[in-house]
């Protein structure tokens, strides 16, 4: 196995960003008690998760589930070796995040105009203006104290309203975004918001977009949903074609009440199982992760989607 995999696999290690605390918890309509969230986050850290999107600094009217993000950040910001990020939809969110001490900001721009309007109630161009403002704020911090940024390009493959999104459309938005973020430590994620992408499409987009925009200093990430059952395959094709960072959600927690049948992000445990099979290191202990996933799945009101949690534990080695 290891001889074969060392020939066919390219990556030897990959970073996983656990997004259950943001993408997952926000999908539970009744906001969870902060203590319950904290127990789940603790279990994830115990399993070896080293990057977590802890929440978002958004309007509490739009997403009340995220109102305790600063509190959760405070609880975990001193854990050695743990990297926490938070989503910010605008300059106000960025200022709130920076004030809370968050030093990695996630900013979302959807490539598709309609989805961007639905998500953040503004045009793609207005979102890019917002990115420019946040980038300017980030640049006000000099040297090592300068926060890092993650740009999430939503609907990079498919839009629930406009259908297929071409890599050329992604490229056009990315081009502008890269001009606006010069001098900033940047990670770019291509997000399969609907889970409708297929593996060779993912490979094609990663190859073309890196050919057009690849330069040192940018890390490439893939944020996938598992709605069509493609989540793990898409993530593997992404890392075979240049991604070094994968987003995933323990227990596959997520889903959107406005998109019937939509499920959450690719389950972290399903992804880790696939990575373990090729000796690709991600630092996470699968058995401990399954315990964290069980805890997350026991939260009331959550929609989960995981293969591995339903396999008898003695069959998972
Ligand atoms: N943090 C806290 N409050 C905020 C805020 C922020 N980052 N941004 C705006 N607000 C408040 C405003 O003060 C205003 O409050 P008020 O009604 O008491 O005056 C209210 O939210 C609406 O603000 P407005 O500027 O009119 O924005 P909007 O109604 O067009 O909403 C967003 C735009 C982006 C702020 C809102 O839709 C949002 O937070 N969306 C979250 C998107 C998200 O996280 N999606 C999932 C990730 S992909
Ligand atoms: Zn998502």
In this predicted structure, the answer to whether residue 5 has a pLDDT above a threshold of 70 is no
Which domain covers residue 267, as residue numbers?
2-315
In this predicted structure, the answer to whether residue 7 has a pLDDT above a threshold of 90 is no
Residue with CA closest to ligand 1 atom 11: 59
**Separation of 64 CA from ligand 1 center, angstroms?**
11
**Separation of 276 CA from ligand 2 center, angstroms?**
24
CATH number at residue 7: 3.20.20.70
In this predicted structure, the answer to whether residue 182 has a pLDDT above a threshold of 70 is yes
State the pLDDT at residue 217.
80
Which ligand 1 atom lies nearest to the CA of residue 120?
Answer: 34
Distance CA 273, CA 174 (A): 32
Give pLDDT tens digits for 98-151.
999 999 999 999 999 999 999 899 999 999 999 999 999 999 998 888 999 999
State the pLDDT at residue 214.
84
State the pLDDT at residue 45.
98
Give pLDDT tens digits for 268-315.
999 999 999 999 999 999 999 999 999 999 999 999 999 999 999 989
Catalytic positions, written as ranges: 256
**Separation of 62 CA from ligand 1 center, angstroms?**
6
- Structural domains of the chain, count: 1
State the pLDDT at residue 272.
98
Which ligand 1 atom lies nearest to the CA of residue 93?
Answer: 7
Statement: the pTM of the whole predicted model exceeds 0.85: yes
Mean pLDDT of the chain: 94
Which ligand 1 atom lies nearest to the CA of residue 122?
Answer: 30
- Pocket around ligand 1 at a 6 A CB cut-off: 56-59, 61-63, 87, 89-90, 92-93, 96, 108, 119-121, 154
**Separation of 97 CA from ligand 1 center, angstroms?**
14
């Amino acid at each position: 196995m290891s001889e074969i995999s060392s020939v066919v696999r390219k990556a030897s290690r990959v970073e996983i960003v656990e997004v259950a605390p943001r993408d997952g918890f926000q999908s539970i309509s009744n906001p969870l008690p902060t203590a319950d969230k904290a127990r789940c986050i603790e279990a994830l850290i115990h399993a070896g998760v080293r990057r977590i999107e802890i929440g978002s600094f958004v309007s509490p009217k739009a997403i009340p589930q995220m109102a305790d993000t600063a509190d959760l950040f405070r609880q975990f910001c001193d854990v050695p070796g743990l990297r926490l990020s938070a989503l910010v939809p605008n300059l106000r969110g960025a200022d709130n995040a920076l004030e809370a001490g968050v030093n990695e900001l996630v900013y979302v721009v959807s490539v598709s105009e309609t989805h961007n309007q639905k998500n953040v109630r503004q045009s793609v161009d207005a979102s890019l203006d917002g990115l420019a403002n946040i980038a300017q704020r980030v640049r006000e911090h000099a040297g090592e104290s300068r926060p890092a940024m993650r740009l999430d390009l939503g609907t990079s493959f498919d839009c629930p309203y406009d259908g297929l999104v071409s890599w050329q459309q992604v490229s056009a938005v990315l081009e502008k975004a890269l001009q606006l973020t010069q001098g900033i430590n940047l990670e770019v994620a291509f997000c399969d918001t609907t889970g409708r992408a297929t593996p060779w499409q993912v490979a094609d987009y990663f190859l073309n977009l890196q050919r057009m925009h690849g330069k040192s200093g940018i890390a490439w990430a893939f944020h996938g949903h598992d709605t069509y059952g493609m989540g793990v395959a898409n993530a593997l094709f992404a890392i075979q074609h240049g991604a070094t960072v994968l987003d995933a959600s323990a227990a596959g927690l997520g889903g959107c009440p406005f998109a019937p049948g939509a499920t959450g992000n690719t389950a972290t445990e399903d992804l880790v199982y696939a990575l373990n099979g090729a000796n690709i290191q991600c630092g996470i202990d699968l058995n401990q992760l399954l315990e964290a996933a069980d805890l997350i799945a026991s939260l009331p009101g959550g929609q989960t989607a995981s293969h591995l949690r339903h396999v008898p534990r003695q069959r998972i080695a």
